[in-house]
Amino acid sequence: MLPDPRRRVLRPRSERQVRGRSLECLPALRRRVGLRALRRAPGARTLPGLIAFAILALVAVPAAAHTGERGFILLLPTGLVQVGGTVVVAVSFFIVALCPAGRLRSWLESTRWTLCPLARRSLWLNSLSSAALIGLIVVGFAGSRDPLANPLPLSVWTLAWVGLTLAHAVFGELWPCLNPWAALAAIARRLAGLRAAGGVGPLACPEWLGQWPAVGLLFLFGWFELVHPTPQDPGVLAGVVLAYSTFTVTGMVLFGDAVWNERVEVFSRFFRMVSWVAPLQWGEAGGGGPRKLVLMLPGSRLLSVGTLPVSGVAFVILALAIVSFDGLSRTFWWLHLLGENPLEHPGRTDLVSRNSLGLLGASLSLFAAYSLCAVAGALGSRTRPLGALRGLVVSIVPIAFGYHFAHYLPSFLVDAQYALKALSDPLGQGWNLLGARDLHVTASFLSHHASVTLIWYLQVGAIVGAHVAAVVVAHALMGEQTQRRFAPAVAGAPLAGLMIAYTLFGLWLLSSPVAA
């Protein structure tokens, strides 16, 4: 999953602008494995040269030649790390199972500190976000066609989808203050002569819809990111952002901000979900009263989320499935399964139908696996299956964020530099708004063994730590399902088995060869 720094320097065109672009550096590939040097070396035709070549052929092993840094990763003890990480998650389940679930939950919920009161929220930050959004849409249409020079793709895919997600996992739910559509909806509502009472609009949203509209929009967003041929094309992306903004503002005016953000608006749902793992929470200090900033153990907020509807369960599972399929769809294994040669990648356009089915299949398979494990555990401990299905899914949230962090970390470190540079001169007119127009973007840390090793171990730590946190949260939640002594451990065993298996899958995915 580590990006090739060489392709960051290239200026891709047409279909090669997208994520998962085909291999573009076959000459560089030959240089890495030494074929050109061997062919042109004067002694290559001599007997010693032939003997040396024969020895190399005999001891050759499969090489990950698609990226230099992936080659570094395969020099690491990846097999031992996969086994070790999986064992850590398995051992954590047995250790946690010895702890009474009720006592564990009580300790997690009581370990918190109130830091400071919060000022009343206003729309001035939302107004700034609205102005920034409008400016980015204009730049998307009028600016450079290069996705590494136009601020819109970098702002959407790097600063928002990756950076803002990381910020929510640390600082809590920031989105209500940053939502760019809130201020636009307020302006549209005033122009239409409507008043919003308690976030409710003039139309009522049917209760039976639940959060299914948000689930459908999240799937479409994942499809656009992973399957669409040109998700980073500035013009295409600007059209999509404009259409979604119009749809969202209209919905907020007609149905009310609160209802729309809860059931339909996908980013409100996603960022709220991610904020549940944050150590900082913007909420009540306990017992009512004014909103205060509270510090707690990471992930302990998940214990007070409550039972989600089935549509909420599907949303959490889909968030994990999207980022998992993003990594899987670029592996040599997946391309071989589709009958494609990874070294002759056909491009996204040729894979649209097959990757669409793959994303759908991955989502349904993960939902089915979670449902079977939750129901099996409930039946084994004589608890309500539907209650377990809806109540335990929040334990998956740390895993979804852990994969998000691990998957996007390397590309974020490079693309954040491009974003800063592009925002300094958004229209390519020689401006230097942020003082970074002449910034030299560096990706050299992705070509050095020491830095690549550090990044890889951060990714491993995120995946393993997220699964351990999920095991702890699931066990604590099971204390609410049943009061019997060993019932929480019995009920959580199938789900823990799924988490253990998914740990091994995630670590394999992290170290597998991918087509850049």
pLDDT, tens digit, 9 for 90 and up, residues 252-273: 999 999 999 999 999 999 999 9
What are the tens digits of pLDDT across the range 315-373? 999 999 999 999 999 899 999 999 988 888 788 899 999 999 999 999 999 999 999 99
Q: What is the maximal distance between C-alpha atoms in the chain?
A: 90
Give, as one character, the DSSP assignment of residue 204: P
Which residues, in sequence order, are CB contacts of 166 under 8 Å at separation 6+? 405, 412
Q: In the predicted model, what is the mean pLDDT of the chain?
A: 82
- Give the gyration radius of the chain's Cα atoms: 25
Strand residue runs (E) in 402-472: none
SS (H, E, C) 108-171: HHHCEEEEEECCCCCCHHHHHHHHHHHHHHHHHHHCCCCCCCCHHHHHHHHHHHHHHHHHHHHH
The phi-psi region of residue 339 (left if phi > 0; otherwise alpha if psi is between -120 and 50; otherwise beta) is left
Q: With b meaning 16 or more CB within 10 Å and e meaning fewer, what string describes 303-341? A: bebebbebbbbbbbbbbbbbbbbbbbbbbbebbeeeebe
The answer to whether 178 and 129 are in contact (CB under 8 A) is yes
The answer to whether 195 and 189 are in contact (CB under 8 A) is yes
Which residues, in sequence order, are CB contacts of 423 under 8 Å at separation 6+? 151, 154, 155, 433, 434, 436
pLDDT at 39: 35
Q: How many CB atoms lie within 10 A of CB 501?
A: 14
pLDDT at 344: 82
Give, as one character, the DSSP assignment of residue 396: G
Percent with pLDDT over 70 in the chain? 81
- The amino acid sitting at 297 is L
For residue 271 the two structure tokens come to: 């960022």
Residues 261 and 283: their CA atoms lie apart, in Å, by: 18
Q: What is the DSSP string of 279-320?
A: SEEEEE-SSS-SEEEEEE-TTGGGGGS-PPPHHHHHHHHHHH
Residues 409 and 420: their CA atoms lie apart, in Å, by: 17
The answer to whether 367 and 286 are in contact (CB under 8 A) is no
Residues 259 and 199: their CA atoms lie apart, in Å, by: 7
φ, ψ for residue 57, nearest 5 deg: -65, -35
Report, as ranges of residue numbers, the positions in the chain whose pLDDT lies below 70.
1-77, 196-199, 284-290, 381, 480-487, 516
Measured CA angle at 402 (ends 398, 405), to 5 deg: 140
Residues 398 and 278: their CA atoms lie apart, in Å, by: 10
